[in-house]
Amino acid sequence: MSLGPVMIDLEGTGLTAEDRVLLCHPQVGGVILFSRNYESVEQLRQLIGEIHALRSPRLLVAVDHEGGRVQRFRTGFSRLPAVGRLGEIYDLDPRRALRLAELAGWLMAAELRSVGVDFSFAPVLDLGRGISTIIGDRAFHATPQGVARLAQAYVHGMQRAGMAATGKHFPGHGSVAADSHVALPVDDRPLEEITAEDIYPFRALIGQGLMGIMPAHVVYSQVDPLPAGVSRFWLGEVLRTQLGFGGVIFSDDLSMEGAVGIGSYGERAHAALAAGCDMVLVCNCRTGALETLRALERYDNPLTHLRLVRMHGREGVSPTALRHDPAWRTAVVELTHAFEDPGLALDL
C-alpha cells in the first residue's frame, strides 16, 4: 500500500479502534501529533511503534517541534530555545550563532528520531520583521541573509540526526499581521519585493537539499487572488518551475480560518492538490478528515508517492542511548550555557 495524500491527527495518547481503521485508509499517508498525544517518552515510543506497524511502507509521523512557543513534547525532552534567540546572538557573533543553530537542529531532530518521529515541520523561513505576532521569535532573523544562513546551519544539524527538513511558510508569512489560524491574511506587496526578500531563504535552502515546504494561508493580492497554498502560480510556476523544488509540498492545516473561504473540506483538499501540494493536513476536526478522505477516494498521483517516502527518518538510537552519546551532552551543555537557561538541560 502506498502513502496517501492526507495527514490526520489523533485524539489521545493511544490508538482507538476508529483511529486504526482511519490510519489504514489508502488515502491516509501520515499522522501529526500534538501535546494531547503525549504523556511520556516511553508512551510516545509505543504509540509511534503501533502507528508504524499498521502499514508498509509505514505511515509518516510528524510534529510541530520548533522550540520556544512551539514545542509539543516537553517533559522528558530538552526544552529548545526559540530560534529568534539565535538571531540575537547572530548580530553579535555570527560564527557562534551558526554553531548553536546546528546544535539546536541536531538536538531537536535526534530526540524526536529516538522516539520514532519521522520529521518536525521545521524550520520557519519567514522573516522576523516584527509585524506578525504569530511568527514573532519563531523566525531566525529580520534579514533574508540572516534567516538563510542560520536556517542552513539548523537544517544541517537536522540532517546529521537523520531527519528531513520542511521549510515554512512559503513564500513568506512575516509581513502580515493577521494570524491565518483565525483570519485570512492579505499581503499587498509586489511580486518583485517578495521574490527578492521573502523567497531568498527558500531559494537558498532548496539549493542545499530541502526536502519539504509548507505554503502559507496568505493571499498575496498583487500576484494571485488565491491563498498561496491553493495557487498554481505560487506552487507550480514559482516553487516547482522557477525554484526547481522537487520535494514534498505540504498544505498547512485545512481546518485553519485561512483555508475556509476555499469551500468544503473536500474542495479545499482538491484545490490544494490541484495547485501542486503532495499532502494535505486536516487537524482537530475528525469530521473534516472523514469528509476529505471521502472526497479524495479516487485521487492518485504516483509522483507524490515517490516524494513522500523520502520523508521517512533514518534509524535513530533509543532515548537512553542518545543520552549516553557525548554529542547529546555537548549540545545540551552549549545551548544551556548560551541561553543561560537551566530548563534546557535534562538528566545531566
Residues acting as catalytic residues: 181, 252
The three-class DSSP label of residue 168 is strand
Query: Which of 134, 203, 140 has the alpha carbon at shortest distance from 170?
Result: 203
Contacts of 320 (CB under 8 A, 6+ apart): none
Omega before 171 within 30 of 0, i.e. cis: yes
- Tell me phi and psi for residue 282, to 5 degrees: -130, 110
Cell representation of residue 77: 525532552
Burial class (CB in 10 A: 0-12, 13-18, 19+), 346: middle
The three-class DSSP label of residue 271 is helix
What pairing do the DSSP bridges indicate for beta strands 65-67 and 70-71? antiparallel
Cell representation of residue 159: 540532517
**CA-CA-CA-CA torsion for 188, 191, 195, 199, nearest 10 degrees?**
50
